[in-house]
Amino acid sequence: MVAGQTLCPKLNLRCPVFIMPPRSKEARQKSLAHLIFQAIQESPHLQDILVIAVSPARKAFFISQLCISIPDVFAGRTKTPADLFDILTIWFGKYNGSQFNAVEEALQQRRNYLAIHRSQKHTFIHRIRLDSSPDSRDAFLGAIKIFHISQLGTPYPSVKHWICETDDIDHKWRDFLHNDPKAHPDRRRPRLPIFRLDHTKLQLDIKANEDALVYDETSNELLMVVIRNFGRDPNLLKHIEGIIKQSVDCRRSIRVINYFHS
C-alpha cells in the first residue's frame, strides 16, 4: 500500500489515504490457477478427462471442456490448447494446495497412464519390428529377392480394365461388372471392360509367398517392395482394416472408383 494525504472538504482536514498497488502478474496467475483447480476439484467429469489427456488431441478436448465450465477462462491468450494444458500442469506444481487433492490424484493417475501407454507403445513397435538396428534391418532386406525390369512401350496389362486371370473368374464377375448398378456408381464414367490376362506376357510374376525388391534396370530406381507377412500383429491388422473401411464409407461415386484405378 502507498500512503498519501487528501483533503476532506466537509471537515476542512487533510486525511491519510492508502492506495492499493496493482496486483502483480504472479498474483493474477495464482488466482487464475486456483480458480481452474477448484473447477476441476468439483468436477468428476474433468478429472476423468484429465487422467487420459496424454495426446495433443486429448489435451485440446480437456481444455475445451474446461472452457465450458469456466467461460472465457483463457480469454486473450494465444497459446494452443495443448500448450495451455502444459501450462496448467506447471501451475499445479507451483500453486498446488492441499484443498486440491482430487486434482492431484487425477494428475498422478495421468502420469501412471502415460507410463503404461509409453511402455505399450514401445512393446508394440518392437513387436512389429520397427525398431530394428541397422545391421538387423540390412540382414532382413538382404534375404529378399531382387528383380530388375525394363519400362514397356505399351503398358501390360492394359490400364482402365478389370483384370481377369481365369475363365471361372470371368464367368463369375462378367454379368455383375457389365450390368449391375452397384458396379457402376458413377454414371459419368463408362463401365470398364474385362481384360483376360496372359501370364506369358508379364515381365515379372511375384508369387503369393514371395518377397521382392523391384528396380528399374536402367535407372536402378526402386519401384516396388513386397514383404509378405510383415505386419502380422492382429491389433495392427485390425487397425488398418478399420482405416480402410472408414475410408470406403466416407468416399462416394468417382472417388471410390479412383481408389481401384490409380
pLDDT of residue 2: 44
pLDDT of residue 210: 93
What does the alpha-carbon distance between residue 183 and residue 185 come to, in Å, rounded to a whole number?
6
* Cis status, amide bond into 157, omega within 30 of 0: yes
Distances (CA, A) of 156 to 20, 163, 175, 181, 202: 86, 11, 24, 28, 7
Q: Which residues contact 76 (CB under 8 A, 6 or more apart)?
A: none
pLDDT of residue 259: 43
44 part of a folded domain: yes
pLDDT of residue 224: 94
Determine contact, residues 59/82, Cβ cutoff 8 Å.
Answer: yes
15 part of a folded domain: no
pLDDT of residue 232: 74
134 part of a folded domain: no
138 part of a folded domain: no
Domain co-membership, 180 together with 253: yes
40 part of a folded domain: yes
1 part of a folded domain: no
Domain co-membership, 182 together with 248: yes
Domain co-membership, 191 together with 113: no
210 part of a folded domain: yes
What does the alpha-carbon distance between residue 104 and residue 239 come to, in Å, rounded to a whole number?
34
Other beta carbons within 10 Å of 103: 24
The total number of structural domains that make up the chain: 2
What does the alpha-carbon distance between residue 161 and residue 165 come to, in Å, rounded to a whole number?
12
Domain co-membership, 97 together with 174: no
Domain co-membership, 164 together with 252: yes
Domain co-membership, 208 together with 255: yes
Find how far residue 133's CA is from the centre of its chain.
Answer: 26
56 part of a folded domain: yes
Cα angle at 126 between 120 and 127, to 5 degrees?
Answer: 85
Domain co-membership, 198 together with 234: yes
What does the alpha-carbon distance between residue 16 and residue 10 come to, in Å, rounded to a whole number?
15
Instruction: For residue 29, give the C-alpha cell.
Output: 496467475
Q: Which domain holds residue 64?
A: 25-127
pLDDT of residue 124: 84
Low-confidence residues in the chain, pLDDT < 50: 1-7, 11, 13, 17-20, 254, 256-262
pLDDT of residue 59: 93
